[in-house]
Chain A
Amino acid sequence: MASRIYAWLDSRLNLKAVEHSLLDEPIPGGASWIYVFGSATLFLFILQAITGMFLAIYYAPTPDHAYDSVQFIENQVTFGWFVRGLHHWGASGMVIAVGLHMLQVFLYGAFKPPREMMWMVGVVLFLIVLGFAFTGYLLPWDQTAYWATQVGINMVGTVPVVGDVLVKVMRGGELLGALTLSRFFAVHVLFLPAVIVTGIMLHLFILRRVGPAGPWDEKKAAAGSETFYPRQVYMDAVVMAGIFALLVLLACLVPFPLADKANPSDTSFVPVPEWYFLFYYELLKHVHGPLEPFATWILPGLVVVILLLWPLLDWKKTVRAPASRPVGMALAALFLLVVFSLLAVSLKNLYGVKRVDPGIAHGQALFANLGCAGCHRIHGTGGALGPDLSYIGDERPDREWHMKHFRDPQSVSPGSIMPKFPLTEQELHDLTSYMVSLRKAG
C-alpha cells in the first residue's frame, strides 16, 4: 500500500530525484560518530519547538497569570510536568550540543574555505540559541526568573551611550513588568523561531552546496566517500534516541519546582542564572569599578566578533589538521580553560559551601502571607499584640517547641490568644525554620 502511494506520488512529483539528493549525499571518508553533533542539535531544536508549542497551549504571558499557568501545567495537566521537563532539560541539551558541534567543526578545521559562511551563520545561530535561553528563563515568572532577568538586563545598561536606551527597550518601559514579560514571550515564541528557522535553512543550504568537510587527513578523504544513508543516518538516529532517553530520564527523575512567585519588592532574593551563564556570572563577581564594562560588554563583544570572523582571521587557509594549527588550537584551549575554570569556581561557590535552607525563605513568605505581622514585630515592622520575634531563634532555639506551638498555641503557651492556623506538615517545618533562623548573629 505504502509503496503504491509512493509510486503514485513519484510519477507526478519525481520524488526519486529528491530522495537520491537527500539520502545519497556523499560523506567524504565515510560515516562517523564524530559527525553526529549537527544532527543532534537539529533534533534538540525540533524537540524544543514541539514541546514549546505544547507549553504555549496553557501558558499565559502576563504577570497576573504566568506563574499560576506554569503551576497549572506542572500540577494539573496530564504529563504537563513531562512536557515542561523535556523543554527545560532540552534547553540545556541544546547548549551542550551546539558547543560540541562547534568544537568538532573547529577541531576538524571544517570552517576553512570554502565553508567560512557556514561557520559564520553557525555562530549567529549559537547567539540566537542564547537569546532563546535568556528570554525563556523569564517566562515562569518566579523569583529566580524575575531577578536573574533583572540582573541580565541591567548588565546591558553598562554599555556606553546606548546602554540606558537598550535597557528601556528590552524592558519595554522603566520597570521590569507586564510589558517586559509580553515582549520576552513574543520574542521567545514568535520572533526568534522565525529567525532561527531561516538561519537553520541557510546553514543547511550552504552545507548542501559545499558538502561536508570530512576528515582533515587528505589520505583518508581521498579513500572515497560513502552515502549519507543508511550508515550516517543510523548513527544520527542512535544518538538522537540516546539524547531523548536521557532527557526523559531527567524530566522524570529530577524535578525543578518553581521558586516563589516573582515579588519585585523582595530585594533579598539572590538569583542564580542557568549553568551555561554561570561562568559569566562568576567573571562579573571578580571585576569591579572602572574595569566592569570590560567584563560586561567589551570582552564578550570581542569574543563574539573573533568567533564570528575566525574563518577570515585564521591565516592558514588550507591547513586543517589540528597539529599544524598550534596558535588556533592554543587560543581555543585557553578560551575553554577560562570558561570551564570560571564555571567550576562558580559551581563550587554555589554548592560547595553550606547552602541556606530554602525552607527559611518559604517560611518567611508564609509569615507574610498568613498576616503574622499583624500581631508580631520583626525588626520594627509589624504589630505589637504578640511577642516581638526579631530574635526568637535565640530565645527559643528548640524546633519541637515551635512545631507544637504552631499546631496548637495554647498547648505550650496557655492563655495565648494566638489563633491556630491550618498548616501542612511542610509549612510547619518551613515556618519553624524561619523562626529558628531569626538570631542576633546570622
Chain B
Amino acid sequence: MSAPELHPSDTSGLSTPTGTRRRFFQWVTRAAAGLIGLSLAIPLVGYVISPALKRRTQSWVDVASLDELPVGKPKQVDYVATVQDGYLETKTQKAVWAVKQTDGQVTVFSPICTHLGCGYHWDEGEQKFKCPCHGSAFDLSGRVVAGPAPRPLDALPSKMEKGRLLVMYKEFKSGVAGKIEL
C-alpha cells in the first residue's frame, strides 16, 4: 500500500478509506454539495419570481379639462399612460367614459361591458349605454337596465384637480357579480 491510511476494500482489491475517515469524507462532500445547492437555489428562486410578483404601479393620468365635459351627457375621453413592461416602456391608450353630473361631480366608467368584456357605446336617443354583443344596457349612473350584465358599469377611481379630470385605469373581472380587480 502506498498510503498507510488506505485499507483494501472487500470486493475488488482496491483500497478505500473506512470508518471515521470515510464518514468524514462523506460528510464534507455532502456539506459542500448542500452549500453550493442552497446558495444557488435561493437567489435563483428569487430571480424567477420577483418580477412576476411585482404589482404594477399606477398613477393618475390627466384625461380632460372639466370644462369640456357637458353636464348629464357622457363623453368618451382618451386615457394615455406609459406602462413599464419589464425593460420596455409602452404607451397604452384607452377611451374611458366620463359623465358630469348636475352637481359638478364626475363619474368615470371603464369602457368594458361587465358581462363579457365588449366595448359599449352611448345611445343618445334612448339615453342608455348599450352593449352591441349581448344587449346589456346601463343608465347614466351605470345601473343595469336590460340584458345579461351581472353588475353595474365599473366606475374608475377619478379625482378633480385644478379644473382637470384625473383617472386611474383599472380592469375588472367580467361576467361576475362582484367587482374584482385584475
**Cβ of B182 under 8 Å from chain A:** no
**Cβ of B50 under 8 Å from chain A:** yes
**Cβ of A238 under 8 Å from chain B:** yes
Given known contacts A78-B47, A224-B15, A244-B39, what 6 new A-B pairs fall within 8 Å (CB)? A54-B47, A78-B46, A80-B47, A227-B12, A230-B17, A230-B22
Contacts A30-B6, A78-B50; A237 near B26 (Cβ below 8 A): no
- Are B32 and A79 within 8 A (Cβ)? no
Between A and B, 14 residue pairs with Cβ closer than 8 Å are A20-B11, A24-B12, A26-B14, A54-B47, A58-B51, A72-B86, A76-B51, A223-B1, A226-B14, A226-B15, A234-B28, A234-B29, A237-B33, A244-B36
- Are A241 and B51 within 8 A (Cβ)? no
- Are B9 and A24 within 8 A (Cβ)? yes
Q: Note all chain B residues with C-beta closer than 8 A to A58.
A: 51, 86-87
Number of residues of chain A lying within 8 A (CB) of chain B:
40
Q: Note all chain A residues with C-beta closer than 8 A to B47.
A: 54, 57, 77-80, 82-83
Contacts A223-B1, A225-B14; A240 near B32 (Cβ below 8 A): yes
Please classify the interface of chain A as helix (H, G, I), strand (E, B), loop, or mixed, using the class held by over half of its residues.
Answer: helix
**Cβ of A394 under 8 Å from chain B:** no
**Cβ of A248 under 8 Å from chain B:** yes
**Cβ of A50 under 8 Å from chain B:** yes
Q: Closest 10 CB pairs between A and B?
A: A223-B2, A78-B50, A230-B25, A72-B87, A79-B43, A234-B25, A237-B32, A241-B32, A68-B87, A227-B16
Contacts A71-B87, A78-B46, A223-B2; A230 near B15 (Cβ below 8 A): no
Task: List residues of B whose CB falls within 8 A of some A CB.
Answer: 1-3, 6, 9, 11-12, 14-17, 22, 25-26, 28-29, 32-33, 35-36, 39-40, 43-44, 46-48, 50-51, 86-88
Q: Note all chain A residues with C-beta closer than 8 A to B28.
A: 234, 237-238
- Are B26 and A230 within 8 A (Cβ)? yes
Tell me the bound Cα distance from A80 to B51 in angstroms.
Answer: 11
Tell me the bound Cα distance from A362 to B1 in angstroms.
Answer: 66
Nearest A residue (CB) for B23: A230
**Cβ of A233 under 8 Å from chain B:** yes
Contacts A223-B1, A227-B15; A77 near B40 (Cβ below 8 A): no
Q: Note all chain B residues with C-beta closer than 8 A to A47.
A: 40
- Are A241 and B2 within 8 A (Cβ)? no
**Cβ of A220 under 8 Å from chain B:** yes
Q: How far is the CB of A31 from chain B (nearest CB, A)?
A: 9
Tell me the bound Cα distance from A82 to B48 in angstroms.
Answer: 13
- Are B22 and A224 within 8 A (Cβ)? no
Q: How far is the CB of A156 from chain B (nearest CB, A)?
A: 32
Nearest A residue (CB) for B42: A79
Task: List residues of A whose CB falls within 8 A of some B CB.
Answer: 20, 24, 26, 29-30, 47, 50, 54, 57-58, 60, 65, 68-69, 71-72, 76-80, 82-83, 220, 223-227, 229-231, 233-234, 237-238, 240-241, 244, 248
- Are A227 and B33 within 8 A (Cβ)? no
Q: Note all chain B residues with C-beta closer than 8 A to A77.
A: 47, 50-51
Q: Report the number of A-B residue pairs with Cβ-Cβ less than 8 Å.
A: 107
B26, B39, B86: most-surrounded residue (chain A CB, <10 A) = B86
- Are B6 and A226 within 8 A (Cβ)? yes
- Are B3 and A227 within 8 A (Cβ)? no
B11, B32, B33, B88: most-surrounded residue (chain A CB, <10 A) = B32
Q: Note all chain B residues with C-beta closer than 8 A to A226.
A: 3, 6, 14-16
- Are A60 and B35 within 8 A (Cβ)? no
Question: A224: which of B2, B25, B50 is its contact (CB, 8 Å)?
Answer: B2
Nearest A residue (CB) for B17: A231
Tell me the bound Cα distance from A223 to B4 in angstroms.
Answer: 11
Q: Note all chain A residues with C-beta closer than 8 A to B2.
A: 29-30, 220, 223-224
Contacts A30-B2, A225-B14, A234-B28; A65 near B87 (Cβ below 8 A): yes
Q: Note all chain A residues with C-beta closer than 8 A to B51.
A: 58, 76-77
Q: Note all chain A residues with C-beta closer than 8 A to B88.
A: 65, 68
Q: Note all chain A residues with C-beta closer than 8 A to B40.
A: 47, 50, 244
Q: Note all chain A residues with C-beta closer than 8 A to B15.
A: 30, 224-227
Q: Note all chain A residues with C-beta closer than 8 A to B35.
A: 241, 244
Q: How far is the CB of B138 from chain A (nearest CB, A)?
A: 41
